[in-house]
Amino acid sequence: MIIYIVGASGSGKTTLLKKVPIPGYDLDDIYETNWNKHRKWETVQKGAKKDIETLTKKHKDIVFVGLQFNKDLAFSPDVVYILIRTDYEKFYRDKLVRDLNLLCDNKKEYERVLSKEPVNEIKKHFGFNDIVNMKSFDDFKLDVEKTNKDIQKEFPKAETFTADKLLIKLKTTL
Is the pLDDT at 66 greater than 80? The verdict is: yes
Note the pLDDT of residue 99. Answer: 94
What's the whole-model pTM score?
Answer: 0.89
Note the pLDDT of residue 174. Answer: 84
Cβ atoms of residues 17 and 24 within 8 Å: yes
Is the pLDDT at 153 greater than 90? The verdict is: yes
Cβ atoms of residues 147 and 8 within 8 Å: yes
Mean pLDDT for the stretch of residues 55-81: 95
Which pairing describes strands 159-161 and 24-26: parallel, antiparallel, or unpaired?
unpaired
Strand partners, 81: 5, 159
Q: All domains of the chain, ordered by start, with CATH? A: 2-173 (3.40.50.300)
- In whole angstroms, give the CA distance from residue 104 to residue 82: 29
Note the pLDDT of residue 125. Answer: 87
Sign of CA dihedral 161, 28, 89, 16: positive
Q: For residue range 89-110, list pLDDT tens digits in order.
A: 999 999 999 999 999 999 999 9
Mean pLDDT for the stretch of residues 138-155: 97
**At 38, is the pLDDT very low, low, confident or very high (cuts 50, 70, 90)?**
confident
> Which of helix, strand or coil describes residue 105?
helix
Mean pLDDT for the stretch of residues 62-90: 95
